[in-house]
């Protein structure tokens, strides 16, 4: 089975990459974009029966830095 961890910057944390992307989008003729936040998706192959809590523990211990990032776990 698959687990998917979506890691995103916490609200309020400055995102220089997102800002650069917003600027580039503006240059491409998309002035309607007011903000861009960059995150990442980490897909894990895990054994059947792995729980959401186990994956969340992986996220807390390594996959996300909870000082600056939030994460969301989905199992599929």
How far is it, in rounded angstroms, from Cα 6 to Cα 17? 17
Tell me which residue of 26, 44, 40, 31 sits closest to 70, measured CA to CA: 40
Q: Which residue lies nearer to other proteins by CB, 67 or 76?
A: 67
Among 1, 33, 41, 68, binds other proteins (CB under 8 A): 68
Taking CB under 8 A as the criterion, which residues in 9-48 touch other proteins? 12-14, 16-17, 20
* Residues at the site binding other proteins, with contacts judged by CB under 8 A: 12-14, 16-17, 20, 61-63, 65, 67-68
């Amino acid at each position: 089975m698959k687990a998917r961890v979506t890691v995103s910057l916490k609200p309020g944390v400055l995102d220089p990459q997102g800002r650069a992307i917003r600027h580039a989008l503006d240059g491409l003729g998309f002035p309607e974009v007011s903000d861009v936040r960059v995150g990442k998706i980490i897909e894990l192959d895990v054994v059947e029966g792995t729980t959401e809590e186990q994956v969340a523990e992986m996220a807390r211990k390594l996959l996300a830095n909870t000082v600056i990032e939030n994460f969301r776990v989905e199992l599929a």
